[in-house]
Amino acid sequence: MKRLAAVFLFSVFFAASAHAQLGVKAGLNAAVLQGTVGTDATYQTSYHAGIFYEMKVIDPILSIQPELLYSLQGTERKSDLVNYRSKLHYLNLPVLAKVTLGPVYAEAGPQVGFLLKAREDGVMVVSQEGNGEVQIASNDRSSWNDYKKLDLGFAVGAGVKLPLGFALGARFNAGMNDINKVKSVQGVNDPQLKNRVFQVYASFQLPGD
């Protein structure tokens, strides 16, 4: 039975590879860290780009699509006391099941992200004098040690295929694990930070076999 299962999976993989299409994609992110202390965390706009490989399993309805994407994520905080951005640079590897009906497709699957770089920049109020004078300090530092390096998540999206191999799509990526590495001694009220990213993108695929 195990041999039959292995032969079946082997056959499916090579049958899919024979109808695979390599593509490139790029688009905009709207990202936030859900769980940030306070109510002043907002989505910040950034970008993502990368490559993908669509392998047909049941042509033309069902396919498997692994991707390799660079994605700039994080969050932005604005209030009377602080105005700064957390910028988290990820290498994301989603593997999606893709269902196509005519020109329209839907996709969903797991995603793993590897943190490449983390930085914070902005300004904050450190003191305010009785005469109303405000002391402001700038903040521009590496926050690499503030975050866990692995982000496990789930992606779901949809799009429409256009002529000549082009397509337009949208996707939502939800991180499942807490990426906050900075914990207080008591551990009370430590925020659980999770990536939340909305994406819109354009893609182009090379002609398939």
Supply the pTM of this predicted model. 0.83
Q: How far apart are CA 108 and CA 92, in angstroms?
A: 15
Q: Could you count the other beta carbons within 10 Å of the beta carbon of residue 101?
A: 9
Helix (H) and strand (E) counts in the chain: 1, 10
User: What pairs with residue 38 in β-bridges?
Assistant: none
Q: What is the pLDDT confidence band of residue 189, given thresholds at 50, 70 and 90?
A: low
User: What pairs with residue 138 in β-bridges?
Assistant: 123
Residue count of the chain: 209
Listed range (32-36, 67-71, 79-83, 125-129) with the worst mean pLDDT: 125-129
According to CATH, what is the number of the domain 2-205? 2.40.160.20
pLDDT digit string (tens) for 25-59?
A: 999 999 998 875 445 678 999 999 999 999 999 98
Question: Cα–Cα–Cα angle for 178, 96, 52, nearest 5°?
Answer: 105
Residue 101, classed as helix, strand or coil, is strand
Domain boundaries, the chain: 2-205
- Contact between 12 and 46 under an 8 Å Cβ cutoff? The reply is no
Peptide bond into 66 cis (omega under 30): no
